[in-house]
Amino acid sequence: MANEALMQSKAIIWDFQQKLSAADDISVAEILKGYLHEDVLWHGPHPLNDIRGQAGVYINFWKPFCRSFPDFERYNDILCAGVYKGDHWVSTMGHFAATFKEDWLGIPASGKLLTIRVGEFVKMQDNKIKEMYVLVDLLDVMRQVNLWPLQESYGVEGWWPKPHSYNGLVVRAQEHTETRKTSKLVTNWLDETRHFDSTVANIDLLRHKEYFHPNVQHYISSGFGASRGIDGLKDSFQNPLFTGLSQRKLNNHHTQFADGLFMGACGWECIKGIHSGELLGVEATDKPVKIRMMEWWRRSGDVIRESWIMLDTVDLLMQLGIDEFAKMHDIQEKDQWL
């Protein structure tokens, strides 16, 4: 029964997203009524943050989004679902493609094609969406309009592909043995990082080779960037976080679940710590930070072959006293005077 309900939930979310792609800033309101609970909780990236209720989601997110990107389409690369603490969850990851017609969240429109990375974790109740966690890579949007406000990324910007196996849309019921194998592998890895002594910054003590393929690919939000191999993961993601944050508490998830060869996890305080070292070009502030994060993994055989990591980097930097939107506007004003 749980499997059938999860398949139904996937179908509902897929249908919802397809209808949104055909909507405008007026019709989108009716679509939301059909799929969202009236008192839905919507958690998004800074500066959108938390929104309550259908009307709030429409006014604050979808109406301005549709006006800024009137021809947008949704391209999903991962679709998976699972049960966590008795609740049914669906996750999607991919991107929007659209012409950037009007300014959005203060980011100036380019009039050109734009792709927007997006990830979602959705909690279902009575065949409607009760709660949503949404991340879009706003720094990557700034990059595409040539208003990059950050230092050079640790990894490579711009690469956010679909799974190399081309099987990320898990639309059929999966073998329980495969799902359990994925869950065990990733959960064991998460447990190892969770229990790693937060006072030790030497990530070589982690047993990466037991969990990852030698040529594992990591696709990480703007500011961190994509990388290849175990050393790439260390250089583009783990080293910056482990040396930049002390008193770390990792993997504080709202939900995590496996579905066949894929697993997803989401937490709005996924990583907590004290900013005690340089991070993203910002010297230590000794401020406490909480990092909003989503992650997806693809297992191949007995190891992790690919992972996608989305962070709310803008929110992280705001906690360190750095406003990336203000920096973007400063760059824009300087460009206008040149």
CB 119 within 8 A of CB 92: yes
Q: How far is CA 184 from the centre of its chain?
A: 22
Return the closest-CA partner of residue 228 out of 212, 250, 244, 243.
212
AA identity, residue 149: P
Q: How far apart are CA 209 and CA 212, in angstroms?
A: 5
Question: How does the average pLDDT of the chain come out, rounded?
Answer: 95
Q: Which pLDDT belongs to residue 338?
A: 44
Locus of tokens 């049960």: 83
Average pLDDT, stretch 55-64? 98
Residue 239, judged by CB atoms within 10 A of its CB (0-12, 13-18, 19+), counts as middle
Q: Give the domains, in start order, of the chain with CATH numbers.
A: 2-144 (3.10.450.50), 176-325 (3.10.450.50)
Q: Which pLDDT belongs to residue 199?
A: 59
DSSP string, 221-239: -TTT-BEEHHHHHIIIIIH
| Predicted confidence (pLDDT) at residue 171 exceeds the cutoff of 60 | yes
pLDDT band at 71 (very low <50, low <70, confident <90, very high): very high
Task: Give tens-digit pLDDT for 288-329.
Answer: 999 999 999 999 999 999 999 999 999 999 999 999 999 999
Q: Which pLDDT belongs to residue 87?
A: 97
Task: Give tens-digit pLDDT for 11-50.
Answer: 999 999 999 998 999 999 999 999 999 999 999 999 999 9
| Predicted confidence (pLDDT) at residue 1 exceeds the cutoff of 60 | no
CB 51 within 8 A of CB 44: yes
pLDDT band at 161 (very low <50, low <70, confident <90, very high): very high
Q: How far apart are CA 275 and CA 283, in angstroms?
A: 8
| Predicted confidence (pLDDT) at residue 200 exceeds the cutoff of 90 | no
Average pLDDT, stretch 155-162? 95
User: Does residue 47 have a cis peptide bond before it, meaning omega lies within 30 degrees of 0?
Assistant: yes
Q: Which pLDDT belongs to residue 39?
A: 98
